[in-house]
A = this chain, B = another copy of it.
């Protein structure tokens, strides 16, 4: 559920908003290896604004069309502020869904694309080169499908690396060691202080990349997928036996303090 004033600004560009509202749902399906099929849209609006609705719909249907997603239901009501709730449904062969609970000690930890760009764009709206990371995330549907029966666990980065990887660790009852310098990031981050960079890379949300784990003997297959999709897939660390423990190492191998991700009820 996306609420105006909290998840997006009143003047947010409606085409991008329509795209993103669906994209974040398709990203959840991608993280499970599912093929998106259907979506339902519940929309609350203060008044009928035909121009806004047309642009919002265009953004939503353009992404839906690219992924073969059909809008099969929903609801439109009046609400004090624009409110968007989308349910997306997909299909995956029985037993092939990517889950959070399958990571094993010794598995590699991979991430698609780059992290921190969306958080940087939120903090610095003037940076045109990262704006799309925040406003037009691309759900990694093709990657998710190719990771079926390859990845041992997967999740998408909605709340930040530390927080979302934490869900895998919790469900899989394992730990992880991440090498901070290996985490791919947009070049524009280099212009800012190391504290901000760490915050955006480790705890920035909204990147909608996939984090996944896979046995080390699957590295060649992962690299083949990267080549086929023309999508960077970076090995950033390993799963360890220490249940729930997330250790992030700096360039000299010293542990950094991991910060939590975005708290839905935080301040």
Contacts and interface: CB of A to CB of B under 8 A. Distances in A.
A83 B44 contact: yes
A80 interface: yes
A1 B75 contact: yes
Contact of A3 (B48, B80, B87): B80
A239 B236 CA distance: 67
Nearest to A6: B78
A79 interface: yes
A40 B87 contact: yes
Interface residues of A, number: 25
Q: Which of A81, A85, A89 has the most CB of B within 10 A?
A: A85
Interface SS, A side: strand
Contact of A1 (B73, B79, B81, B264): B79
A44 B3 contact: yes
Contacts of A78: 3, 6, 264-265
Contacts of A264: 76-78
Contacts of A44: 1, 3, 83
A3 B265 CA distance: 20
A42 interface: yes
Nearest to A5: B80
A83 to B, nearest CB: 6
A43 interface: yes
Nearest to A265: B48
A1 B43 contact: yes
Interface in A77-132: 77-81, 83, 85, 87, 89
A180 B1 CA distance: 42
Given A48-B265, A265-B48, A3 B85 contact: no
Q: Which 9 A-B pairs have the closest CB atoms?
A: A85-B85, A87-B87, A1-B42, A42-B85, A3-B79, A1-B77, A1-B75, A40-B87, A1-B44
